[in-house]
Amino acid sequence: MIASLNGALIDKSLMQCLIDVNGVGYLVYIPLSTFYVLPEPGLPVVLQTHMYVREDVISLYGFGTQVERDVFQLMISVSGIGPKLAINILSGIPAEEWFRAVAGEDLKRLTSIPGVGRKTAERMILELKDKVLKLGIDTFKSTAEPARKADHLKEDALSALINLGYKANLANDAVDQIVQDNEPLPAIDQVLKKALKILSA
């Protein structure tokens, strides 16, 4: 069982990436939330992974956090939810929000996710509510929320810088440096000011 990958990112797209680990290239399917936090190709990357094995299929699914992998593994334990749908669900809802929706039997929120109909949402609640409550939503929220806030901050700042005409890779490096060097996270205007200073140096 491959539980994690630590290597160099070779290539990435919205739904998959290719990681070189000691000369072996691993194709990994990912949710959008993981795509947004991937570095530029050539840089090191670490992903938590789940190896999906069936008679004629061996696939790797990767996640930026252990929380997302845990959610994925819970979802694929539900009858009728395969790994592709689970990845789509994680692309459409933050992990901690999914926990709250299942625990609170929020059918409206679950059915608002593309690809999730009422029957699928009802099965998730029926089969996973007790497990979610047992694990404790606050535990998952506390580990996932800071990363989620950083992700949104980076996305907003990167979008603004690209719209100003800066190259995506240079803008991404500048924003990453600011987010990593500042705790607590600064406001978006402060991130942009510091990024512009770095990019104009």
Domains of the chain, first to last = 4-63 (2.40.50.140), 68-135 (1.10.150.20), 145-200 (1.10.8)
CB of 35 closer than 8 Å to CB of 17: yes
Give pTM, 2 decimals: 0.66
pLDDT of 111: 92
CB within 8 Å of 41: residues ≥ 6 apart? 9, 10, 11, 12
Distance, in Å, from the CA atom of 135 to the CA atom of 140, rounded to the nearest integer, reads: 8
How many secondary structure helices (H) and strands (E) does the chain include? 9, 5
The CA-atom distances, in angstroms, between 132 and each of 23, 42, 127 are 39, 38, 10
Residue of 167, 163, 161 whose CA lies nearest to 195: 161
pLDDT of 139: 52
Give the up-direction half-sphere exposure of residue 42: CA atoms within 13 A in the CB hemisphere.
2
Ranges under pLDDT 50 in the chain: 142
Q: At what angle do helices 95-103 and 83-92 cross, to 10 degrees?
A: 100
pLDDT of 150: 67
Strand partners for 27: 18
The CA-atom distances, in angstroms, between 169 and each of 42, 107, 111, 132 are 12, 40, 36, 38
